[in-house]
Amino acid sequence: MLKLDKKQYWIIGLCTVILSFIMLFIGIKVIAASQVSIENVLAYIVFSLLVGGVASALIFFRLKIAFLSYIAGLLLGFVLMYRTFLYDMSGWGDLIGVISLLIWTIIGLGTGLLVQLAFYLFKKYKST
**For helices 9-26 and 38-60, angle between their N-to-C axes, nearest 10 degrees:** 150
Query: Could you tell me which residues come within 8 angstroms of residue 30 by beta carbon, excluding any fewer than 6 positions away?
Result: none
Burial class (CB in 10 A: 0-12, 13-18, 19+), 35: exposed
Render pLDDT for 49-89 as a digit per residue (tens, 0 to 9).
Answer: 999 999 999 999 999 999 999 999 999 999 999 999 888 77
Cβ proximity of 16 and 52 under 8 Å: yes
The percentage of the chain sitting over the pLDDT mark of 70, rounded to a whole number, equals 95
Measured CA to CA, the distance from residue 32 to residue 84 in angstroms comes to 9
Question: What is the pLDDT confidence band of residue 93, given thresholds at 50, 70 and 90?
Answer: confident
Measured CA to CA, the distance from residue 72 to residue 23 in angstroms comes to 15
63: three-class secondary structure by DSSP = coil
pLDDT at 101 over 90: yes
Render pLDDT for 35-59 as a digit per residue (tens, 0 to 9).
Answer: 899 999 999 999 999 999 999 999 9
Report the pLDDT value the prediction gives residue 109, as an integer from 0 to 100. 98
Query: In this structure, which amino acid lies at residue 80?
Result: L
Least confident of 88-92, 93-97, 108-112, 116-120: 88-92
Domain boundaries, the chain: 6-127
Confidence (pTM): 0.90
Q: How far is CA 101 from CA 42, 55, 94, 106, in A?
A: 17, 16, 11, 9
